[in-house]
């Protein structure tokens, strides 16, 4: 099947932090916060609408005093992102193949707009469109736009069953073909979807569908 468009999640689909965020946490543990407080602040920030450095700092300030200048901490944060954020090994080859097939690629990711855009750009990943969704469960709105522009079927790949379930509620299998990607140490491997999806471990697998 030749898809009219391919839509891809970013985090734990195209790229991942190779240290499982320990480098980020260590920056702030050295400021005197316990690991549990730092991890809790990260989860709280993410739940508020996606992680960003500024929002993370705001949450931590409510839990204790930050000794170091935030500008210096931001430099350390940016360095951590640049060193730890890596594309999965199959990504570049897959995107080259898709380009050769003249299929447009859209990255559809949830989170803080500025932070997500900086992450995507830092990896040098190829894409035609980048959409950052500020609220969970609304990726289907982007797929509606893509379908209006390119028609069906569209392929959509995500590692999070909740997002796949939400998209399935809005489209038929003929309109959007859904794939659940399983990445090593993925954060949602144990999550249970409400619907069944083809599981893939390598993005190139969808080209044979």
Report pLDDT for 1. Answer: 58
Say which DSSP state 193 is in.
Answer: P
The residue ranges of every structural domain in the chain are: 5-16+86-208, 22-85
Res 63: pLDDT: 83
pTM of the complete model:
0.92
Are 107 and 120 in contact by the 8 Å Cβ rule? The answer is: yes
**Tokens 């859209």 identify what position?**
106
Does residue 60 contact residue 66 with C-beta atoms inside 8 Å?
Answer: yes
User: Does the 5-16+86-208 domain belong in CATH 3.40.1280.10?
Assistant: no
pLDDT band at 124 (very low <50, low <70, confident <90, very high): very high
Helix-strand-coil percent breakdown of the chain, rounded to 5?
45, 15, 40
Q: In which band, very low, low, confident or very high, does the pLDDT at 47 lie, cut at 50, 70 and 90?
A: confident
């Amino acid at each position: 099947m030749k898809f009219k468009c391919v839509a891809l999640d970013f985090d734990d689909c195209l790229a991942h932090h190779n240290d499982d965020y320990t480098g980020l946490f260590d920056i702030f543990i050295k400021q005197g916060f316990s690991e549990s407080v730092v991890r809790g602040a990260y989860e709280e920030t993410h739940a508020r609408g996606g992680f960003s450095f500024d929002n993370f700092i705001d949450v931590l300030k409510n839990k204790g005093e930050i000794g170091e200048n935030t500008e210096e901490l931001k430099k350390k944060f940016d360095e951590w992102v640049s060193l730890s954020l890596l594309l999965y090994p199959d990504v570049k080859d897959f995107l080259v193949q898709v380009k050769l097939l003249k299929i447009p690629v859209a990255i559809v990711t949830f989170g803080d707009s500025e932070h997500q855009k900086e992450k995507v750009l830092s990896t040098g990943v190829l894409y035609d469109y980048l959409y950052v969704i500020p609220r969970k469960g609304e990726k289907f709105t982007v797929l509606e736009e893509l379908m209006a522009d390119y028609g069906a079927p569209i392929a959509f790949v995500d590692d999070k069953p909740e997002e796949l379930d939400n998209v399935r509620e809005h489209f038929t299998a003929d309109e959007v073909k859904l794939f659940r990607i399983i990445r090593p140490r993925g954060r949602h491997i144990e999550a249970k979807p409400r619907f069944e999806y083809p599981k893939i471990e390598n993005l190139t697998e969808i080209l044979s569908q």
